[in-house]
């Protein structure tokens, strides 16, 4: 009887430890998804700004503003995707 109780206790400890490790992995993946979204968002904004500068050098101020706005919108979209992926990963836990 004592052996059975020890086995049950050991299985319980192993299961709870496994769940904790799984939760940490999910949290890490969620943080990575958020970071990827932020990086992609910054990259899209920088691309838009570079295109805007190129258009300004040509003398197309209107097109420059359009490119800058497109970059900001794409950047915001990438950040939103990153946030959604982060929430998905947290929901899996």
Nearest to 78 by CA among 49, 19, 37, 17: 37
Cα 92 to Cα 24: distance, rounded to the nearest angstrom: 12
Chain mean pLDDT for the chain: 81
Tell me the pTM. Answer: 0.66
| pLDDT tens string 50-93 | 999 999 999 999 999 999 999 999 999 999 999 999 988 888 86
Burial level of 63, CB count in 10 A (0-12/13-18/19+)? middle
């Amino acid at each position: 009887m004592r052996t059975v109780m020890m086995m049950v206790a050991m299985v319980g400890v192993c299961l709870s430890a496994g769940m904790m490790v799984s939760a940490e992995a999910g949290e890490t993946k969620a943080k990575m998804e958020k970071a990827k979204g932020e990086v992609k968002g910054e990259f899209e904004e920088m691309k838009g700004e570079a295109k805007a500068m190129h258009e300004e050098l040509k003398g197309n101020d209107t097109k420059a503003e359009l490119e800058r706005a497109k970059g900001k919108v794409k950047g915001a979209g990438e950040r939103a995707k990153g946030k959604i992926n982060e929430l998905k990963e947290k929901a899996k836990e």
